[in-house]
Chains A and B, each alone.
Chain A
Amino acid sequence: MSKQVDTGISYRSYYLGFGLSLVFTLTAYFSVSHHWFGRDGLIGLVVVLALAQFMAQLIYFLHISHEAKPRWKLLVFYFMILVVLILVLGSLWIMNNLNYHMTPQKIQQYLQNQDGGI
C-alpha cells in the first residue's frame, strides 16, 4: 500500500524541480539586470521562463501528473486556469479599452458636446 502512495514522489523529482527552478529564475534575473534584449524581447523571454518554472514546479513539486485514473485534480486545475485567464485577460482588455476611449481629448470633446446640448 505504501508503495502505491509513494509513486512519483522521489528525491530525483525534487532535485530536478529545484535545479530547473534555479536555472529559470537566474536566467530571468540576469537577462533583465544585464539587458540582454530590448523591451519586447525581455518581456517575452521572462514570461516564457516563468511559465516553464510554473510547469516544472507543478510536475516535480506538486506532482500533478501522478494521479490515478479519474483525474479530478487535473480537471479542476484546467478549470482554474480557464477562470484565471478570463479574469486577468478580461480585466486588462476592458480597462485598456476604457483608457483608450477616455483620453483627455475625448473627455474634452464629450464635455463640449454636453455643454452645447444644454
Chain B
Amino acid sequence: MSESVAVRRQENDSKGLFGFWLYLMTDCVLFASLFATFAVLRIGTNGGPTGQDLFNLPYILVETLALLTSSFTCGMAILASRRRLRTQTLLWLAVTFALGIVFLVMELTEFRHLAADGNGWRRSGFLSGYFTLVGTHGFHITIGLLWMAAMFSKVYFKGLTEAGIRKLFLLSLFWHFLDLVWIFIFTIVYLFGVIPV
C-alpha cells in the first residue's frame, strides 16, 4: 500500500518536473525571439550612441558574477534541503536572494543612468531591442525573487516538507535557467557591443 503511494507520488513528481521543464523550454523560445529582434536592430542606432559608447564592461562583469554566484548558492540550498538541513537551506536561500537583489539593483541603476542621459528605449531601434531583451530578463529575475521570498517563509514557518523540497527544486531550475539566458545576454549584448568594428 505505502509502496504504491510512494510510487504514485514519484510519478506525480516527475510529471510536475516535466511540466515545469516544458514551461522553461517555451520561455527559451520567448527569449530567442527577443534575441532575434535585438540582433536585427543592433545596427539601427539612428545616429545615436552604440554599445561601445554606453556599456561599462567592468560594471557588467560584477553584475554577471553576482548572478552566477547566486546560481551556485541556489544549488547549495537545494543540496541542503535534500539533506533535510533546514537552517542551512534558509541561509543559502538568503544569500541567493541577496545576490539576486544586488543583480537587480545594478541592472535598474544602469537603466536609470541610460534613461537619464536621454538614451531611453525610444532613442533608437538598438536601444528598444536592448531594453526589451534585458528588461524581460530583469522581469523574470523579479518574479524569481518573489517566488524565493515565498519559499523562504514557507520553509521558515512550516519546515522542510516533501512538497516544499520539490518546489524548491523547481525554483532552482528557474533560477539556473535565468543564469543560462544571462550568458547569452552578456555575450551578445555586452561583449559583442564593445568589440570595436
Contacts and interface: CB of A to CB of B under 8 A. Distances in A.
B187 A87 contact: no
Given A42-B195, A62-B173, A91-B39, A73 B82 contact: no
B51 to A, nearest CB: 12
B79 A11 contact: yes
Contacts of A21: 68, 71
B139 interface: no
A18 B68 contact: yes
Contacts of B26: 80
Given A46-B191, A57-B183, A87-B32, A72 B72 contact: no
Contact of B40 (A43, A77, A91): A91
- Range class of the B interface residue count: 35 or more
B149 interface: no
Interface string B171-184: 00100110110011
A92 B79 contact: no
Given A25-B68, A57-B71, A91-B40, A32 B194 contact: yes
A8 to B, nearest CB: 12
A29 B65 CA distance: 11
A50 interface: yes
B47 interface: no
A21 B67 CA distance: 11
Contacts of B65: 22, 25
B36 interface: yes
B183 A50 contact: yes
A14 B76 contact: yes
Contacts of A54: 180, 183-184
Nearest to B69: A18
Contacts of A77: 25
A28 B187 contact: yes
B57 interface: yes
B116 interface: no
A87 B33 contact: yes
Nearest to B79: A11
A92 B33 CA distance: 11
Contacts of A87: 29, 32-33, 36
A118 interface: no
B57 A53 contact: no
Given A57-B180, A62-B176, A39 B196 contact: yes
A45 B192 CA distance: 11
9 contacts: A18-B68, A39-B196, A50-B188, A57-B179, A58-B180, A72-B18, A73-B18, A73-B21, A83-B29
Interface of A: 1-2, 4-6, 9-11, 13-14, 17-18, 21-22, 25, 28-29, 32-33, 39, 42-43, 46-47, 49-50, 53-54, 57-58, 61-62, 68, 72-73, 76-77, 79-80, 83-84, 87-88, 90-92, 95
10 shortest interchain CB distances as A-B pairs: A91-B36, A14-B75, A84-B32, A18-B72, A50-B187, A80-B25, A61-B176, A95-B40, A88-B36, A87-B32
